[in-house]
């Protein structure tokens, strides 16, 4: 079981399934949404993801035609996202998890959008796009 929350603690959630495909995304929208050089995300089955508190504080933003990002309307923490192309999956924002994970990132995606002032300093695989 994994648990997580937003920065202010208003939204809390739990996951009772495997967390998969943990990666670092360098696309322009992830960089803007997280206000950092990349967004770290993973996939979880929607059926295993439950919001425990703060559901009324979840706001959403359609960042592209097929993707909705969900965040805390109080503190702004980007907690998860959903894509039309894979509606049975939650795109979990790893930084919202409490505690440690027993998995490591599998790579970097959308490296073609990476800013020129940042150099990737690990040996993980890199994909130009998805």
Say what the pLDDT of residue 120 is: 95
Say what the pLDDT of residue 62 is: 93
- ∠ CA 11-13-17 to the nearest 5 degrees? 165
Contact of 39 with 31, CB cutoff 8 Å: yes
For residue range 3-48, what is the model confidence (pLDDT) as tens digits? Answer: 999 999 999 999 999 999 999 999 998 898 888 999 999 999 999 9
The CATH T-level fold of domain 2-113 is: 2.170.150
For residue range 47-58, what is the model confidence (pLDDT) as tens digits? Answer: 999 999 999 999
Say what the pLDDT of residue 117 is: 95
């Amino acid at each position: 079981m994994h648990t997580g929350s937003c920065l202010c603690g208003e939204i809390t959630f739990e996951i009772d399934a495997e967390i998969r495909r943990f990666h670092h995304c360098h696309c322009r929208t992830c960089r803007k949404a997280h206000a950092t050089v990349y967004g770290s995300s993973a996939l979880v089955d929607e059926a295993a993801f439950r919001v425990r508190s703060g559901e009324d504080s979840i706001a959403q933003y359609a960042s592209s035609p097929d993707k909705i990002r969900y965040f805390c309307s109080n503190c702004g923490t980007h907690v998860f996202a959903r894509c039309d192309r894979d509606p049975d999956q939650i795109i979990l924002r790893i930084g919202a998890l409490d505690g440690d994970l027993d998995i490591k990132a599998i790579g970097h995606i959308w490296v073609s959008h990476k800013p020129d002032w940042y150099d990737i300093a690990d040996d993980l695989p890199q994909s130009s796009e998805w």
